[in-house]
Amino acid sequence: MPAGSIEKMKYAFCYGADAVYLGLVDFSLRAMRKGELIDDTNLKTAVNIANSLNKKVYCTLNIFAYDKDIKKLYETLEVIKDAKPHALIISDFGVLRLVKENIPDIDIHISTQTNILNSQAVKFWQDMGAKRVILARELSYEQIKYIKENTEGIELEMFIHGAQCMAYSGRCLLSDYMTNGERRANQGNCAQACRWSYKLVEETRPGEYFEIVQDDKGSHIMSTKDLCLVYHIKKLCDLGIDSFKVEGRTKSLYYVSAAAKAYRQLIDCKISEDEAFLELKKVGNRGYTEGFFGGNNDSSTYSYDISKGLAGADFLGIVQKKIDDFNFEVLIKNKILLNDEFEIITPNFSTMAKVVKITHPKKGEVDCANTNDETILTLSYEDKNWLMEYSCALIRTKGMKEV
């Protein structure tokens, strides 16, 4: 699972992830802007937390590096060496060379940014000392199967869920061009220009038309739907894929938790594929697609009407403390009203609940808890089993809203 911050990492582990990938802010393809960001001051803390839970941390060093980045990385190597992450995710040959020279014993995972599409490419990276390769998203099941059957002694990882890039495995320059170089996509600062609304004007080729659907908001002609391979997990397990990966380091704590729970319970045969898919529709998405997996990627892969992810359930709050079995200190993420009904989820349980009373720490008893309030909610609920896991409980709207 993705871990854009220490807090998200903890929830990813709590909700079932075996490992997380996280990036040092200067060398990651996701430049985080808020939360307890991962940097050279707390990388070791993150790894120690994972070790205490018998989990793993993979650190991404997968920017497309210039010499100034190489110099900065060289100065950071001691921090990485001291933290001892379980592997480094790398795409740049120069970064790989530097790491092999200075931290020769660390496991190397090759990033999807290297566009690994065939078994010979896998063997090449194996010869270069890689323990694992992360396959390109542009592969069909049959192509993945061929690679698995024609390689040995190296682990294979693949993306099964999350946002996709309209460029080849992330190699895109749209953001660079459209922000005059201020937001460089392959250095962790993508402006997501593919999600912008466009109005197409053709002046140089009269008579050649690009048919698009356009409304008063323009047209999102490059915005891909999100990948979701929930109905293929069993056969991928049977195939022997070593690791399944979910995109989303800039996503919310709720997204990371709910997606981890859905796939964890599906892999462990605790829920059906349909139940897992229902859960995944409750987190932010741009509509789901199986992308190239079926070998027939077409226009249905693109989300022509929306560019921002919509969720079937709204994230309402984080249970921070249990006062007693009915009163809880909650960090409010979206407004909650007196008598509201919602769902409480934990890694293994869920229950419907109702707000009986709202007590603000300064205002006393109120009718509304607002975003970012730390408020005491008095609840009635159907199933008390969730109390066993209240320390990582989240609150969301009940049912499935239309998106």
> Are residues 108 and 240 located together in one domain of the fold?
yes
pLDDT tens digits, residue range 189-242? 888 888 887 766 666 666 655 555 556 655 666 778 899 999 999 999 999 999
> Are residues 245 and 134 located together in one domain of the fold?
yes
> Are residues 230 and 350 located together in one domain of the fold?
no
Is 1 domain-assigned? Answer: no
Question: Rounded to an integer, what distance in angstroms lies between the CA atom of residue 296 and that of residue 315?
Answer: 34
Q: For residue 184, what pLDDT is reported?
A: 81
> Are residues 35 and 153 located together in one domain of the fold?
yes
The count of other CB atoms within 10 Å of the CB of residue 207 is 5
Q: Walk along the chain (403 residues) in steps of 10 and give the mean pLDDT of each run.
A: 94 98 75 68 95 97 90 93 97 95 97 94 98 95 98 98 79 78 81 77 62 59 86 98 93 95 98 97 92 80 66 96 97 97 97 97 95 97 97 94 70
- Whether 306 contacts 220, CB under 8 Å: yes
> Are residues 252 and 324 located together in one domain of the fold?
no
Residue type at 396?
R
CB neighbour class for 330 (10 Å; exposed up to 12, middle 13-18, buried from 19): buried
Q: What is the largest CA-CA distance in the chain?
A: 72
Residue 231's φ and ψ, nearest 5 degrees, are: -85, 5
The count of other CB atoms within 10 Å of the CB of residue 115 is 17
Residue 114's domain spans which residues? 6-208+220-301
Q: DSSP letter string over 271-286?
A: S-HHHHHHHHTTS-BS
pLDDT tens digits, residue range 107-154? 999 999 899 999 999 999 999 999 999 999 989 999 999 999 999 999
Q: For residue 197, what pLDDT is reported?
A: 75
Q: Please state the pTM of the whole predicted model.
A: 0.88
Mark which of 278, 301, 324 sits at the end of a domain: 301
Mark which of 301, 332, 359 sits at the end of a domain: 301
Bridge-partner residues for 88, per DSSP? Answer: 59, 108
Mark which of 251, 279, 301 sits at the end of a domain: 301
> Are residues 380 and 342 located together in one domain of the fold?
yes
Q: For residue 76, what pLDDT is reported?
A: 92
N residues, the chain: 403
Helix (H) or strand (E) holding 74: helix 67-83
For 117-126, b/e burial (b = at least 16 CB within 10 A) is bbeebbbebb
Is 309 domain-assigned? Answer: no
Is 254 domain-assigned? Answer: yes
Domain count, the chain: 2
Q: For residue 250, what pLDDT is reported?
A: 83
Q: For residue 328, what pLDDT is reported?
A: 98
